[in-house]
Chains A and B, each alone.
Chain A
C-alpha cells in the first residue's frame, strides 16, 4: 500500500510542478527567453502571501489573487522595459541577463527578508483526508486543485480568447503576427506577465506546503525547466504531463534510492530527455525553434 501513497504524493507534488512549469514553458515557447529568475519571482509571490498572513492574518488561499496580480504587473514592466531591449540578442545574452536578475532578486530578498526559512501555517495545516491507508493533507489537496484549475484556465485562455490566440500566433511567426496587427512587444510583455503571475501564484502555494528561503530559487527554476523539457515547450498539456512525471519520479526515487539522490535523478532524467528527444514528449517541431 505504501506504493499507492507514494504515487498519490507524487501526483500532488506534480500538480505544483505543473503550475510552476506552465509559466516557464509559456515564456520560453513564445518569447524564446529562458527565464532563470522564474524561481526568484515565485519566491516573491511566496513572501507576499507570507507577509499578508503574518500582518493581517488573511487566509493564504484568499490572498492568492494579490500575489498573482502583483507579480503579473512586475513581469509586465520587466519585459516591456528591460527584456524587450535585448530580446533579439544572442540567446546566451538573455540567459545571463535573467541570471543577473535572479542574483539581484535573491540578494534583495536575503537582505530585506533575511535568509531564514519561513512558512505559512494556517489553523487547518495539520488536518488531512484519510481514505483507507492513504493520507492526503487538505492543504496539499487544495493546492493540487488550484494548480489544475489554473492550468486549465490558462489553456482555455490561450485557445479561446483573442489575446491568447495572439500570443500563440506571435510564437509561431512573429512577422506574420505583426502583419495582422499584433504588437509583438505588447504580446511579449503580456506573455512574460502571465509567466511571472503564474510563478508568483505557485510560490504562494509553495509557502503553504513547505518552508522556503531565498536560497531555494535556483532549485525551483530548475524544476520548472525540467517540466518544460519533459513536456515540450510552450505547451500547456506538455507542462501538465511533465509536472506529473517529475513529481512521481521524484517521490518514487526518494523512496527507492534515497532522498539525497532526488536532484541527481531529476537532472539525469532531464539530460536523458534532452539527448533522446530534445523537443519533449509532446513538443512539436515549430515551437521553440531558434528564431533568431
Chain B
C-alpha cells in the first residue's frame, strides 16, 4: 500500500519536473506560487496538524526568513543560496526562544499569541529602517539571466523546497518525535505522565516547522526581488494555509500539499475570471470548507463521493 502511494507520488513529481518545458510562463508562475503555499502548509502542519497547536501566526517566520535573505543579500552581499541556512536558523532560534513561554498556552490563547507575535515582529521590522528599509521596503538584487531561465530557476527552487518540506515532515512522522507529538495532540497530560518531555517536543516541532517556513520566505523574497513588511507578514496567508491543511487533512504528510494544490488552483481560476470579487469568493470558499469539509476532502470522501456525506459533516458539529 505504502509502495503504491510512493509510486504515485514519484510519478506526480516526475510530471512536475517535466512540466516547465511544455507550459507557458503564466502557468509556471502559478505553479511556483502553489509550491510555495504547499511547502508552507506542509511545514506548518508539523505544529498545527501533528501537534494540534493552532499556530495562526506561523507566517511570522515566513516574513523573518524573507528579511533574513533580503538583508544578508543587500547589506552583506551574500549569495542567494548561502542565505538559505540562515533563514532556517532564524526560524529555529525564534521558535525556540518564543516556544518556551508561548507553548504553555493552549487553544485560542496560543493561536492569538502567535498572531500578536507576528504583528509585533512586523512593527519592529517596519521601524528598523537602517537595516530593513522600514515601510519603504527592501529591493533585492535581481537575478541575472534570461526571463525564461529565471522562471524555471524559481520553479525548481520552490519544488525542491516543497520536496524537502515533505521529506522532513515524513521523517518527523516516522521517528520518536512524531509519536510524541501525536500523543501530545491526543492528550497532553497523559503524554506528560507517560514520560514525554512535552515542552521539549513541542518546541522542537515548532522549530522544525519554523525552519521550513523561514526557508520558504527566503526563496519568496528573492523571487519577488522586493519586500516590504506588508507583503511578507500577511494575515491572509495564515488563513489560506489553515484552509489548505483542513482541506487536505492535517494528520497526514501529503494532505496539506494536496489541499494547497486544490485551493490555489481554484483561487487562480477565480482570480482570472472575477478579479473584482476575488476576495469575497475566497472568504466564501473558506466558510464552505469549514461547514462541509472540516475533516478534509480525502477523509470525507474515502468511499466515494456523495452529497449525503457533506450534509452529515454539517450536522456533526451543530449545537
Cross-chain contact of B283 among A82, A89, A92, A100 (Cβ < 8 A): A100
Beyond A111-B277, A218-B235, is A99–B286 a contact (Cβ under 8 Å)? yes
**Residues in B neighbouring A148, C-beta threshold 8 A:** none
Binary CB contact string for chain B from 232 to 248 against chain A (1 if under 8 A, 0 otherwise):
00011001001100100
Which of A85, A110, A188 has the largest number of chain B CB atoms within 10 A?
Answer: A85
Binary CB contact string for chain A from 251 to 292 against chain B (1 if under 8 A, 0 otherwise):
000000000110110011011001100100000000000100
Beyond A85-B314, A107-B279, A263-B123, is A185–B319 a contact (Cβ under 8 Å)? yes
Interchain CB contact under 8 A, B319 and A103? no
Interchain CB contact under 8 A, B318 and A97? no
Interchain CB contact under 8 A, A84 and B115? no
A7 within 8 A of B: no
**Measured between alpha carbons, how far is A95 from B114 in the docked complex, in Å?**
13
> What is the interface of chain A mostly: helix, strand, loop, or mixed?
helix
A199 within 8 A of B: no
Size category, B interface: 35 or more
A113 within 8 A of B: no
Residues of B within 8 A of A (CB): 48, 54, 56, 101-102, 104-109, 111-113, 115-117, 119-120, 123-124, 126-127, 235-236, 239, 242-243, 246, 276-280, 282-287, 290-291, 294, 314, 316-319
**Residues in A neighbouring B291, C-beta threshold 8 A:** 82, 85-86, 97
Beyond A111-B277, A271-B117, A274-B113, is A100–B284 a contact (Cβ under 8 Å)? yes
Beyond A85-B318, A99-B239, A264-B120, is A34–B286 a contact (Cβ under 8 Å)? no
Interchain CB contact under 8 A, B319 and A88? yes
Min CB distance A284 to B, Å, is 16
Beyond A85-B314, A100-B239, A260-B123, is A95–B283 a contact (Cβ under 8 Å)? no
Binary CB contact string for chain A from 98 to 116 against chain B (1 if under 8 A, 0 otherwise):
0111111111101100000
Interchain CB contact under 8 A, A106 and B279? yes
**Residues in B neighbouring A263, C-beta threshold 8 A:** 119-120, 123
**Residues in A neighbouring B280, C-beta threshold 8 A:** 103-104, 107-108, 111
Residues of A within 8 A of B (CB): 28, 32, 34, 82, 84-93, 95-97, 99-108, 110-111, 184-185, 188, 218, 222, 225, 229, 260-261, 263-264, 267-268, 270-271, 274-275, 278, 290
Interchain CB contact under 8 A, B120 and A86? no
Interchain CB contact under 8 A, B243 and A96? yes
**Measured between alpha carbons, how far is A10 from B285 in the docked complex, in Å?**
40
**Residues in B neighbouring A222, C-beta threshold 8 A:** 115-116, 119
**Measured between alpha carbons, how far is A92 from B294 in the docked complex, in Å?**
11
**Residues in B neighbouring A89, C-beta threshold 8 A:** 290, 294, 316-317
Cross-chain contact of A96 among B246, B279, B282 (Cβ < 8 A): B246
Min CB distance A115 to B, Å, is 11
Interchain CB contact under 8 A, B314 and A100? no
Interchain CB contact under 8 A, A271 and B277? no
Interchain CB contact under 8 A, A103 and B283? yes
**Residues in B neighbouring A97, C-beta threshold 8 A:** 286-287, 290-291
Interchain CB contact under 8 A, A86 and B290? yes
A-B contact pairs, 17 of them (CB 8 A): A82-B287, A84-B319, A88-B318, A89-B317, A91-B54, A95-B111, A100-B243, A100-B284, A100-B290, A107-B277, A107-B282, A111-B276, A222-B115, A264-B120, A270-B116, A271-B116, A275-B104
**Residues in A neighbouring B239, C-beta threshold 8 A:** 96, 99-100, 103
Interchain CB contact under 8 A, A85 and B317? yes
**Residues in A neighbouring B276, C-beta threshold 8 A:** 111
Interchain CB contact under 8 A, A95 and B279? no
Interchain CB contact under 8 A, A95 and B123? no
Min CB distance B101 to A, Å, is 5
